């Protein structure tokens, strides 16, 4: 998903990874919306999106993190438990 959708890659690198490496290990809708504002300042296509579209994309990204097991119900990041982790390193 991150390779296909550049905006999700940007969210992951600029928001989620920064939060993971900081003291505050939570990712909220407001964090994603702040990144949207940064992206909109550099990209007129993203700037043309309505607020509803931005909220839906933000919600979808947070849902992806939850379903992948990276985000708790209280918006706290957690490590992913992967039984076949060696497979992905090869």
Tell me the per-residue pLDDT of 1-59, one tens digit each, with 9 for 90 and over. Answer: 888 999 999 999 999 999 999 998 999 999 999 999 999 999 999 999 999 999 999 99
The values of phi and psi at residue 75, to 5°, are 70, 25
CA distance 28 to 40: 19
Which residues, other chains included, contact 28 with Cβ-Cβ below 8 Å and sequence gap of 6+? 75
User: HSE-up of 73 (CA within 13 Å, CB side)?
Assistant: 0
Classify 77 as helix, strand or coil.
strand
Residues 23-34 have pLDDT tens digits of: 989 999 999 999
Q: What pLDDT score does 24 carry?
A: 87
Q: What pLDDT score does 88 carry?
A: 63
Cα–chain-centroid distance for residue 24?
A: 15
């Amino acid at each position: 998903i991150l390779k296909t959708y550049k905006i999700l890659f940007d969210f992951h690198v600029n928001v989620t990874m920064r939060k993971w490496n900081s003291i505050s290990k939570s990712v909220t809708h407001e964090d994603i919306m702040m990144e949207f504002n940064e992206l909109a300042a550099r990209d007129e296509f993203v700037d043309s999106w309505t607020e509803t579209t931005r909220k839906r994309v933000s919600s979808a990204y947070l849902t992806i993190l939850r379903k992948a097991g990276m985000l708790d119900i209280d918006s706290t990041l957690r490590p992913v438990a992967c039984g076949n982790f060696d497979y992905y390193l090869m």
